[in-house]
Structure 1
Amino acid sequence: MRDQVQRVLDTLRQPRGLYVASPSNTYHYIWIRDISYIALSELHRDNGRFEETYYGLLDILRKYEWKLTYHATKRPVETYEYIHPRYTADTLEEVNQPWGNAQNDAIGAFLFGIGEGLRRGKKMLRDERDRKMIQLLVQYLTTLEYWMDEDNGMWEENRERHASSIGACAAGLLAIQPYFDVPWEPIQAGLSALFQLLPRESATKECDLALLSLVYPYELVPRAMREVIINRVEERLLRQSGVIRYEGDLYYQEDGKEAEWCMGLPWLGLCHATIGNMDKAQSYLTRTVQVMAHGAKIPELYVMHRRQPNENTPLGWSHALWLVLFDTISSGKTAHIFH
């Protein structure tokens, strides 16, 4: 089964090691966040693919170095001024349309991957210009005061302070701190703001699938808080074919029932693995297989009443989480996947 899931994910791989989120017309784009999560499925392998993916992302940043340089010292105000989270698959240009483009968690996820790669001795930086791009992102998040910034969050929706975005930025800065000039103050401010919000995701969302990121991959909160997050997601958001993003989610909602996101199943499995609940981790691995579409394709979501996957099938992010969970269980690791 692992080989089948891997082959499907590989169909999404583009030149320069990048991935489109899905082959569908609506998701045939390069998302920094999606790719940062997809790359984690190659983190423990020595095939060079993890590094190649980050070189591709760094090439995008180089293309927009002028924007990074400008906003490293001048705080973005309008949404379009933020470092863009989404690019065309062919030209790697910013997608020029109204969108929730203020997505700080994407920058945090990117920095986290750079730091994890460096910690494992991978050659994440090709030259001084790559190093400059990372240092500019540090300045960008600091100037932005990410711990107070109202961004669009993981789901690209209304702007407010999101625990998952603040946590991603703090985790990213922590991951690269041993290798770059990262002041402690923005990290400390981020952690303080995060724990003031928890266990909520935001002012409007008490429970949210995005909170799982604080458990996996970031492992940013202590075990007691991990258990709170996992339990709340399971009690309030877990459904038959996946996990709803949050109560009242309108995306693909039908007859008052929220869409069920398949990636929530392996994500919960990985969260259980970080606290040593390997039986639960295994159960979520199996449960994900049960919601796969034809050909071992893991959809983005199922529409509740029709029990049908939407057109974003397969979703690369879903496949990557399943692969990491499979490899974690196979390796016999019980906790602290990264640390």
Structure 2
Amino acid sequence: MDLLKLIEELEKLRRPSGAFIAASSNKDYQACWLRDHLYNVLAYYYLGEFEKLQKGVWVAFDILHKYLNKINKAICHPPSLNENVHEFIHAKYHPDTFNEIDNIWGHHQLDTLGLLFHVVADLDFKNIKVIRNKNDLKLIQLLVFYLLSVKFWENPDNGMWEEGPDLHSSSIGSVVAGLSYIDRREIVVVPPQMISMGKEVLNSILPRESFNREVDMAQLSLIWPYNIISRDIADVILSRVKSKLVQPHGLYRYQGDTYLGDRFIRSQDGVSAQWPIGFFWLSIIYSQRHEIKEAGRWFERGIKQVIFDNQIPEAYVNNKPNKNFPLAWAHSLAIIALKKIETENKQTITSQEVLD
């Protein structure tokens, strides 16, 4: 598959507002998940489309600006997963109005805010300005206080997969990475104890995803984009992912996962969905490690899962793609994986020319 086809499918999922829907084939997926949106926006950096990149981050800001009262309330009166989960920052929004969708949902997803902080700080480091004014700065500061109020290092969240509450290393690591980065860039004030307490709990869980789960595809985020763990811990996570989660059509999210690509259907026979996005994630990581052949192998495994010539589905169940396609953030990670492979190949050629 060529790059233009991957981009074309991703662009089809971008609404006039700048918000991405998750997928177009299923009405339930025609919503903007804030985390997925931010991963989608990352593709524009690798494509050199910086105006779209900025607009994508501004969409995230504008969604959160709309709920400043809610954020302030949560800072003063921290919500509880047992009583008022709808009072946490939501994960899912209407792509045109930015209204919240679904009160009854696993909305408390800490990694979304960690990703937002990471993106903002990383773009600041790269001299791509996404903070428009004092209101954006105030929002970021309030989000820091929000994370302090909900005690991200101590209280469980719903995690990347929006499921039962747990202390997830992927969630805590995301927040620690994001807070550390905005602190280094001196974007807003970050109480140092937030980072130190987060690191302490993170290190007590690693290399596991949680005390209840040995390995999870979400942990790949700790290696890329966050680069928040040591090489030794990353090696353990990669080894476990490859030995326990890799399947013919993609990765299990975790062992024993019963999600089948429809929130109303749960597996009763031990079958788990296989997510092609995991192949692209592994490809990106191996490009980061300058292991270009390994990166290429994982990318090719991902591309083999494409359906209808140019669409990457969310998952395969019983060797068949589920009904959620094309999955936007799978296309984004595929684009990033391909661009990283191209960059690594160019650097290899340049190095050889210098040696010659």
Normalising to structure 1: TM-score of the pair?
Answer: 0.95
CA deviation after TM superposition for structure 1 residue 333, in Å = 7.6
C-alpha distance after superposition, 1:36-70 (max 9, x if no partner): 11111112424311110011111111111111122
| Structure 1 match to 2:121 | 115
- Distance in 2, matches of 1:29 and 1:51, equals 20
CA deviation after TM superposition for structure 1 residue 334, in Å = 11
| Structure 2 match to 1:203 | 211
* Structure 1 pair 70–333 and aligned structure 2 pair: CA distance change class (3 A): farther
Deviates more, 1:65-74 or 1:210-219: 65-74
- Distance in 2, matches of 1:204 and 1:196, equals 13
SS where residue 43 of structure 1 aligns? Answer: helix
Given residue 134 of structure 1, which amino acid in structure 2 is its aligned partner?
I
Residue of structure 1 aligned with 2:342, choices 314, 327, 330: 330
| Structure 2 match to 1:173 | 179
- Distance in 2, matches of 1:140 and 1:97, equals 19
Deviates more, 1:45-54 or 1:230-239: 45-54
| Structure 2 match to 1:258 | 272
- Unpaired segments ≥5 residues, structure 2: 261-266, 348-356
SS where residue 234 of structure 2 aligns? Answer: helix
- Distance in 1, matches of 2:12 and 2:76, equals 40
Residue of structure 2 aligned with 1:80, choices 86, 95, 120: 86
Given residue 329 of structure 1, which amino acid in structure 2 is its aligned partner?
I
Whether 1:34 and 2:46 are equivalent positions in the alignment is: no
- Distance in 1, matches of 2:276 and 2:117, equals 26
Given residue 39 of structure 2, which amino acid in structure 1 is its aligned partner?
Y
C-alpha distance after superposition, 1:134-161 (max 9, x if no partner): 1100111111110111111110010111
Identity of aligned residues (%): 34
- Distance in 1, matches of 2:344 and 2:211, equals 39
- Any conservation in 2 of the 1:37–1:317 contact (CA below 8 Å)? yes
| Structure 2 match to 1:60 | 63
SS where residue 162 of structure 2 aligns? Answer: coil
- Distance in 1, matches of 2:289 and 2:236, equals 12
CA deviation after TM superposition for structure 1 residue 17, in Å = 1.8
- Distance in 1, matches of 2:312 and 2:272, equals 18
| Structure 2 match to 1:13 | 14
| Structure 1 match to 2:4 | 3
Q: Which runs of 4+ in 1 moved over 4 A?
A: none
RMSD: 1.6
SS where residue 146 of structure 1 aligns? Answer: coil
The aligned length equals 333
- Any conservation in 2 of the 1:223–1:275 contact (CA below 8 Å)? no
C-alpha distance after superposition, 1:51-90 (max 9, x if no partner): 1001111111111111112223332222111111111123
- Any conservation in 2 of the 1:43–1:50 contact (CA below 8 Å)? yes
SS where residue 258 of structure 1 aligns? Answer: coil
- Distance in 2, matches of 1:278 and 1:219, equals 18
| Structure 1 match to 2:305 | 291
- Distance in 2, matches of 1:308 and 1:100, equals 27
CA deviation after TM superposition for structure 1 residue 183, in Å = 2.1
- Any conservation in 2 of the 1:16–1:55 contact (CA below 8 Å)? no
Q: Name which one, 1 or 2, has greater alpha-carbon Rg.
A: 2
Whether 1:314 and 2:326 are equivalent positions in the alignment is: yes
- Distance in 1, matches of 2:223 and 2:57, equals 23
- Any conservation in 1 of the 2:17–2:95 contact (CA below 8 Å)? no
C-alpha distance after superposition, 1:67-115 (max 9, x if no partner): 1122233322221111111111232111133111111111111111111
Residue of structure 1 aligned with 2:50, choices 47, 50, 59: 47
Normalising to structure 2: TM-score of the pair?
Answer: 0.90
- Distance in 2, matches of 1:22 and 1:82, equals 24
- Unpaired segments ≥5 residues, structure 1: none
